[in-house]
Amino acid sequence: MNNYRNDSFYNSVSVLDSSRQRQRELLFNKYVAKKFGKVDFRHNVKICNIHPDQCIPVNAYQKLYAKHHLNDVD
């Protein structure tokens, strides 16, 4: 009974708006690239030293998304 309920619920409800999610991904990639460098560099570096000013605050992404009106959390 639980499997039927879970399958019917999770398959019928779309959780994310795909266009909004794509915008959030692009915004996230720009933010991370500005903080830590381009994707190619980040994926190929062997040793990484993060300076204290590069640390990401706890709610940085929520603030970033709210600034661009992409925040789903009220």
pLDDT tens digits, residue range 35-73? 888 989 888 988 888 888 888 889 898 899 889 888 775
Q: What are the pLDDT digits (tens) for 11-22?
A: 555 566 788 889
**Cα distances (angstroms) measured from residue 43 to each of 36, 38, 40:** 11, 9, 5
pLDDT band at 31 (very low <50, low <70, confident <90, very high): very high
Query: What pLDDT shows up at residue 11?
Result: 59
Domain extent listing, the chain = 17-74
The per-residue pLDDT of the chain, averaged, comes to 81
Q: What pTM value is reported for the model?
A: 0.66
Evaluate whether 59 touches 67 at the Cβ level (below 8 Å): no
> How far is Cα 22 from Cα 14, in angstroms, rounded to an integer?
15
